[in-house]
Structure 1
């Protein structure tokens, strides 16, 4: 990956691609990923949220706002350079969330934390690729596979939520989440407030205590913004 800057605007590209992976002007849907997930666990005492993918830090910053002063957010980033960029000038874009004492950083694959977790996280937020397939890193495919979704469910506390960002919708992934035992709500959010591309966010609710799946049924699709 490579980072470029023009005045106060940053962008990240794959080294082998000319198109942008992300731009600091367009992060409303990343904010929504964290906002929606944290709203679903509101009221929990000292929540622990896992963010897969640091990017430009916007999802991490929104998660920190959502968990409150007693919460913790662990962010996993596979590419060490992305962490260093966020510790440098890029960090100003999102308000330097890596400097927040509630932040824990894991430089490595988020899959390692999911495999090692058991009822550890109140919410898991995945924004590691363009959607439920490994575009930037083929190893990400496991995260969206039945095995990966099962690991995510086990890593969540009862009634926790798995939130997944995607550049576009995918009905097959919705079905896969349902088969993994989640109650699924599909939302859309704009890349920029009120404009820009429509991105998809899956909110996959894990069973509550005793395996209950209370609440509305899955598969509904709604927009978070006009």
Structure 2
């Protein structure tokens, strides 16, 4: 059996270390013993982009704000659908995540970070949302969803104040899309109290329709 190879470690500001492993042609980003991301499971992260864009069919050149680069699955799926004058602003807190995308995982990630439609912003996505206005969609795949593991400060994204900031950042008819490793009824109720109409969708983790079920909430201001 082939052993996992540790390729790098990243300190999350205000949180714990992430580690990048390789095994054969696969990559895993882990927190302690928790596997946060795997190159074998991209389906639900891709669906975060494609299902959001399905809901933005009325927008000619969408501007997406994507919180968390991860392994780039959401960004690449978005770029495959975005027109030439669309935009995807990606906000990533951890510099090593971007370094890994351009380094050990370059063959997998391709040139998505160098695509002219991509705007890479290093920083906290909660701050980026508070300063944004008129974006067509906010796509959040941050810290395993509302029930986070990595960084306590991420809780503010999913709080009532965080949802109010997201609502203010959206253009009319915009969509807030939130990925989660599992269901969270308390978060759904917060979305509804924040005056969003909510569509909760279960999506398989793998692009072949197999693997565990993840959850995406698609929220539109009422």
TM over 0.5: yes
Structure 2 residue 49 is the aligned partner of structure 1 residue 34 = yes
Deviation at 1:71, TM superposition (A): 0.4
Q: Distance in 1 between matches of 2:131 and 2:190?
A: 22
Structure 1, 176-185 or 63-72: larger mean CA deviation: 63-72
Q: Distance in 2 between matches of 1:74 and 1:124?
A: 10
Displaced runs of 4 or more, over 6 A: none
Map Cα deviations across residues 34-85 of structure 1 (whole Å, 9 max, x no partner): 1111111123122110000100000111111232221000001111000111
Deviation at 1:95, TM superposition (A): 3.1
- 2:10 match: none
Q: CA RMSD in A?
A: 1.2
Q: Distance in 1 between matches of 2:36 and 2:81?
A: 25
Q: Which has the higher contact order (CA 8 A, sep 6+)?
A: 2
Map Cα deviations across residues 166-208 of structure 1 (whole Å, 9 max, x no partner): 01001111111011111100001101122100000000012xx
- What secondary structure sits across from 1:196 in the alignment? coil
Q: Point out where structure 1 has 5 or more consecutive residues left out of the alignment.
A: 207-212, 214-226
Structure 2 residue 119 is the aligned partner of structure 1 residue 104 = yes
Q: Point out where structure 2 has 5 or more consecutive residues left out of the alignment.
A: 1-17
TM normalised by structure 2 equals 0.88
Structure 2 residue 22 is the aligned partner of structure 1 residue 8 = no
- 1:219 match: none
- 1:151 match: 165
- 2:143 match: 129
Map Cα deviations across residues 94-139 of structure 1 (whole Å, 9 max, x no partner): 43311211101111100111110122x1000000111213311111
Q: Distance in 1 between matches of 2:112 and 2:185?
A: 33
Q: Distance in 2 between matches of 1:43 and 1:95?
A: 29
- What secondary structure sits across from 2:204 in the alignment? strand
- 2:34 match: 19
Structure 1, 156-165 or 67-76: larger mean CA deviation: 67-76
Aligned positions, number: 204
